[in-house]
């Protein structure tokens, strides 16, 4: 988990931000970039974690967004699954390396229109400076498979249903988290952040705010990370 700190911040409060993404998705790439800008632009302390979320519904949503023929569902599903495993394999060499690998892969597929394939994974691994031999070994390991399954469990526990989604936790109010999906714009992320750091904020008030239609209250996920 990545921690961002500012020496001028006196509070012990930590904002935890989980970002659930499709590893090849256009909207997910934008959401990640928005989240990173939010974190970098504030004085607070953050824990930031990106999780690749994958199931039949996220595959269907991805195909619908790109107008992909239903006959390609098995191929698309397998590609997304392999991209999730590749991200986890890269993360074994450090969270920062994993995040750089993911964003580079997304930009290659989304912006540079490169075809997702095994060779592209190797190319991205080289570009981001991770140990390629170790990466390829880990890619097919039980460890990575178990890590992927653990991530999917986290998504279920946090009530995540689609990509991209963001979950905010405030260590000053550990009973609840805020889940936002489908509208991860810079303005929405900023509004949630401001609500959380406002003194005596109430999660119930946040989730009923008319300017945050997709925000809702979820139970705090008890983690041991």
What CATH number corresponds to the domain at position 55?
Answer: 3.40.30.10
Query: Does the residue 206 lie in any domain?
Result: yes
* 3-class DSSP state of 2: strand
Q: What's the whole-model pTM score? A: 0.82
Instruction: Determine, yes or no, domain membership for 114.
Output: yes
Residue 62 included in any domain: yes
Q: Average pLDDT for residues 191-195, to the nearest whole number?
A: 86
What Å distances lie between residue 164 and 106, 117, 139, 161, CA to CA?
Answer: 13, 23, 24, 9
Greater confidence (133 vs 15) lies with 133
Q: Can you give the pLDDT at residue 197?
A: 77
Residue 136 buriedness (CB in 10 A; 0-12 / 13-18 / 19+): middle
Quick check: is 66 in a domain? yes
- What is residue 199's predicted lDDT score, i.e. its pLDDT? 59
Tracing tokens 């490169």 back to the chain, one arrives at 114
Count how many domains the chain has. Answer: 1
Residue 10 has φ and ψ, to the nearest 5°, of -90, -25
Mean pLDDT over residues 13-35, rounded? 92
Q: Integer distance in angstroms from the first to the last C-alpha of the chain?
A: 8
- Chain segment 197-215, per-residue pLDDT in tens: 775 554 444 444 434 444 4
């Amino acid at each position: 988990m990545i921690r961002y700190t500012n020496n001028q911040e006196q509070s012990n409060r930590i904002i935890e931000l989980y970002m659930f993404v499709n590893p090849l998705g256009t909207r997910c790439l934008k959401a990640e970039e928005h989240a990173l800008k939010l974190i970098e632009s504030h004085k607070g302390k953050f824990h930031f974690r990106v999780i690749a979320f994958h199931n039949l519904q996220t595959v269907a949503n991805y195909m619908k967004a790109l107008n992909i023929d239903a006959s390609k569902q098995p191929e698309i599903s397998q590609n997304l699954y392999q991209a999730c495993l590749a991200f986890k394999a890269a993360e074994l060499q450090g969270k920062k390396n994993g995040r750089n690998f993911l964003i580079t892969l997304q930009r290659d597929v989304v912006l540079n229109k490169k075809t997702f394939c095994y060779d592209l994974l190797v190319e991205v691994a080289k570009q981001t400076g991770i140990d390629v031999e170790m990466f390829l070994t880990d890619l097919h390991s039980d460890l990575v498979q178990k890590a992927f399954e653990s991530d999917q469990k986290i998504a279920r526990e946090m009530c995540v249903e689609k990509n991209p989604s963001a979950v905010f936790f405030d260590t000053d109010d550990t009973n609840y988290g805020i889940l936002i999906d489908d509208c991860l714009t810079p303005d929405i992320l900023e509004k949630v952040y401001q609500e959380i750091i406002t003194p005596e904020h109430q999660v119930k008030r946040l989730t009923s705010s008319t300017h945050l239609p997709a925000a809702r209250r979820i139970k705090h996920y008890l983690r041991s990370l």
